Amino acid sequence: MKKITSQQQKVLECIEVYIKETGFPPTRIEICKELGFKSPNAAEMHLRALERKGLITIKSGSSRGICLNNKTVFDGYPVIGLVAAGSPTLAEENIEKIINCDPELFGSNFDYFLKVKGLSMIEAGILENDLVAIKKTTEIKNGDLVVARIDEEVTLKHFFKSQNKIELRPANKDYSVITIDDKVSHFEIEGKGIGLLRNH
């Protein structure tokens, strides 16, 4: 790979940050705004240089037609909204959109984003409409943030187990702890939270 200039590096980083934060690449005008270029032609010049050096691919006819090459090509992850009662979490009716994100953003692989509803986790810094990256796993320990299915409802809480009792604890004193006991006909852990995106 050919060496790139400091300005080209800034343009490349701008593209990477835009994709991480918004799910799509920036336009030439947005690159100019971010980096202080006076003309979209300056952005275009750096983009063409990056393309010649094999770091990006530019699709003609699209203002956002910039694709990162090699390891910086990001995967699409579904964003799960309010889960319909009784339906699988990743069912089509629960998927609000697909966003592109670096699979190594949180230092671990994950499978989807869960869009937070309600205020039960605000004291853990998790706000309504935040996107929590969820890894599908049943390997969890006390204190982990988990996605749990209780009967036909899905909830996001902290997991704690002692002897034969399981508690799903909120991070908001105004909400009650959920105790899993014989009254619950169905309970399963669908995954654990490994990271968070705030796009609002």
Q: For residue 134, what pLDDT is reported?
A: 92
Could you confirm whether 120 is annotated as catalytic?
yes
Q: For residue 85, what pLDDT is reported?
A: 60
Q: For residue 2, what pLDDT is reported?
A: 54
- Nearest-10 Cα torsion for 37, 39, 42, 45: 150
Looking at the DSSP bridge assignments, the partners of residue 196 are 132
Collapse the DSSP code of 173 into the 3-class scheme (helix H, G, I; strand E, B; otherwise coil) and give the result.
coil
Q: Which of 6, 117, 120, 141 is flagged as catalytic? A: 120
**Per-residue confidence at 73, pLDDT binned at 50, 70, 90?**
very low
Q: Which of 87, 157, 165, 176 is flagged as catalytic? A: 157
Q: Which residues contact 163 (CB under 8 A, 6 or more apart)?
A: none
pTM assigned to the model: 0.61
Q: Across residues 151-176, what is the average pLDDT?
A: 91
By mean pLDDT, which of 12-21, 25-34, 72-81, 170-179 is the weakest?
72-81
Could you confirm whether 60 is annotated as catalytic?
no
Q: For residue 147, what pLDDT is reported?
A: 93
